[in-house]
Structure 1
Amino acid sequence: MTPTLLEGTPVPEVDILFLGSPGVGKATFLSQIEHVHNGRLNLSAPRKRIFAPTEPLSWDVTLFGRPYKFRIHVSTSSLFVDPFPAEPAFTIIAFSVSSRESLHNAQFYWRKQLSMHYSDLEHNMPVMLLGLKRDERTEKRMEDGTFECVMPQEALRVAQEMRCDRYAECSALTGELMWETLEDITRTAAMTTTENGGMTQYSCSVM
């Protein structure tokens, strides 16, 4: 039975797209969600590895004094071919901070595919660029002098170019910024159920 706010009133349900190329860390991130409590990640808790889920992952959250049900639809391919919902409310596009190629794919493939498939919703659907594997970032430089990994200021600039509403990054392995990232995700998702929605008018806020 679906939990209710009041008798006969259904809990708000929010469909979230979680896009990104294979290998960027989406599965590890999702496997850690249930282990984040009271502002920190329980690193001693056993992790359930999530492989190419065939159904949306349900995530029950209480926020602003009311319950919500989030359904996370994860991309399982390098292409935009999964059976995504017709009207998602919020999209997260992930990349790995240790892979410049994954950021390039986020900007020039996943963002463009999102716009192509959901052109009617684009002006009302908040989009977050999410950097995963933060623990793998180093300051090592390549031969041309640029950093080998994606630096925060570079990712923020790309997020602005992608017309994203938010940028966040974290490490699901060490727990660094996991709580803050999840808090930003849940607040944005919850706000999509309100009259004002979860958009920030492309200011690309950083949590």
Structure 2
Amino acid sequence: MAEANIVPDSDRSVSLLLLGDSGCGKSTLLARLKSGRSSLSAQPGSALHTIVPLRDEDQPFIYDIRFSRRKFTLELYDTANPNQHWSSLRPDVVVLAYDISNRNTLDGLTAWRNDITRYFQYGDGERLPVMLLGLKRDLRREGEGIIYPQEAYRIAQELRCDRYAECSAVTGELLAETFEDLARLAAMTTTAEGGQSAGTTCVIL
């Protein structure tokens, strides 16, 4: 798809809500992203010491990013915000997260997906971009109960998610690619047509 003529816009804010069972790795992911561009571009396993815990009361966590020729601000919330219950938010994008090493968190995604429909999608045909995200990729081990990407991708299709990705916030594996996917979904909400530019460059400013 050819890249549209897009005027860079640094005033646009996109609200993103991260949902998933407690302990699935959401907070660690947000903390790793908050450490900035150097954390995303670091080689896997090279930036373990840069993960600094974030305070829940500081939500939303703000990320100024550039995706292709578009600049915008990403406002990230998760379910631990003590000042506002997540169901009262009006997100532009929702990320459903689960722990790759814990099948219970994968099984719980159906309830979270139903909550998205219940709280955020009010009319027939209303579209809210949803991404399924597997966390703690570094903990995937061979054995009974292992969750392979093919299974998770199938579940993403069943839950009508727009994208599937997985990464490790601890080692950095696939972290940059995951954030690029998040930026693509966010960029979809910043155009009148609901489309996105064809570029692949995404950085945290």
Do Structure 1 and Structure 2 share a fold, with TM-score over 0.5?
yes
Q: Give me the identity figure in percent.
A: 36
Matching residue of 1:131? 134
Query: 5 Å matches for 1:139-150?
Result: 139-141=142-144, 148-150=145-147
Q: Which residue of the other structure, out of 55, 64, 72, is the alignment partner of 1:68?
A: 72
Tell me the CA shift for residue 84 of structure 1.
4.0
- Aligned residues: CA RMSD: 2.6
> 1-side partners of 2:152 and 2:87: how far apart?
28
Matching residue of 1:145? none
Instruction: Find the residue that maps to 2:153 and give its secondary structure.
Output: helix
Matched, 1:56 2:60: yes
Q: Which residue of the other structure, out of 147, 155, 159, is the alignment partner of 2:152?
A: 155
Matched, 1:40 2:41: yes
Q: Which is helix-richer, 1 or 2?
A: 2
Matching residue of 1:176? 173
- C-alpha distance after superposition, 1:110-164 (max 9, x if no partner): 11111000122773211000000000001112xxxxxx22111110111111000
Instruction: Find the residue that maps to 2:80 and give its secondary structure.
Output: coil
Q: Which residue of the other structure, out of 172, 175, 194, is the alignment partner of 2:191?
A: 194
How has the CA–CA distance of structure 1 residues 52 and 39 changed in structure 2, closer, same or farther, with 3 Å as cutoff? closer
Q: Note if contact 1:24-1:96 (Cα within 8 Å) is conserved in structure 2.
A: yes
The amino acid across from 1:40 in the alignment is S
Runs (5+) with no aligned partner, structure 2 = 1-6, 197-205
> 1-side partners of 2:77 and 2:62: how far apart?
9
Matching residue of 2:89? 85
Q: Which residue of the other structure, out of 110, 113, 121, is the alignment partner of 2:112?
A: 110
Query: Normalising to structure 2: TM-score of the pair?
Result: 0.79
The amino acid across from 1:13 in the alignment is S
Runs (5+) with no aligned partner, structure 1 = 142-147, 200-207
> 1-side partners of 2:39 and 2:135: how far apart?
21
Q: Which has the higher contact order (CA 8 A, sep 6+)?
A: 2
Instruction: Find the residue that maps to 1:112 and give its secondary structure.
Output: helix
Runs of 4+ in 1 over 4 A off after TM superposition: none
Instruction: Find the residue that maps to 2:155 and give its secondary structure.
Output: helix
Matching residue of 2:27? 27
Tell me the CA shift for residue 35 of structure 1.
3.9
> 1-side partners of 2:39 and 2:101: how far apart?
28
Query: Normalising to structure 1: TM-score of the pair?
Result: 0.79
Tell me the CA shift for residue 181 of structure 1.
0.3
Count of aligned pairs = 183
How has the CA–CA distance of structure 1 residues 126 and 198 changed in structure 2, closer, same or farther, with 3 Å as cutoff? farther
